[in-house]
Amino acid sequence: MSLEDDEILIDELGNTARKVMEEVITQDLYFDPENINSWCQQIMDHCLKEFGKLAKPFKYIVTCFIMQRNGAGFQCASTCFWDTKTDGIISVTGDFPNLNCLVTIYAVHV
């Protein structure tokens, strides 16, 4: 797989993740400990299904972080030991009135 294919791939992944996130988490959702797990699972399942359909020689890791908005701050950092030419990362944040959502996708070339 060439570098160009990988670059297109990363943007595609990001757009898919954003679409899925906005489908699952609507503007009026409040943090709900009973459903939070299923929201996370839905986002990740949809994302991985769409990525699998692309049929590219990549392994995908999706992490989903959903937090109740009450003024608390948070930071996220990632470091990777991989081949910078073929592997990539993209993270997508969603700003909803009552929730903070962060979806990070790592695409690792096989």
Partner 1 sequence: MAVPAEYGMSSAHRMEPRDDEKFYPSAVKKIVNDILTEKLTGVSYEDKFAQSLALEISNLVKIKCKSLKMPRYKIIVQTFIGENLNQGLRVASKSLWNPKFDNYASCSFMSGNLFAVVIVFGSYYE
Positions in the binding site for partner 1 (CB under 8 A): 31, 33, 36-37, 40-41, 44-45, 47-48, 51-52, 59-85, 87, 104, 106, 108, 110
In angstroms, what is the minimal distance from the CB of 72 to partner 1? 4
- Report residue 53: phi and psi, to 5°: -65, -25
Minimum Å distance from CB 27 to partner 1? 18
Nearer to partner 1, 19 or 63 (CB): 63
CB of 102: closest distance to partner 1 in angstroms? 8
Considering the complex, what minimum distance in angstroms separates the CB of residue 8 from partner 1?
A: 19
Pairwise CA distance, residues 32 & 91, whole Å: 24
Dist CA 48 CA 106 (whole Å): 11
85: CB partners within 8 A, 6+ apart: 3, 6
Q: Which is nearer to partner 1, 22 or 108 (by Cβ)?
A: 108
**CA 63, CA 23: separation in Å to the nearest integer?**
17
Nearest CA to 67 among 25, 102, 39, 28? Answer: 102
Question: Smaller CB distance to partner 1: residue 8 or 76?
Answer: 76
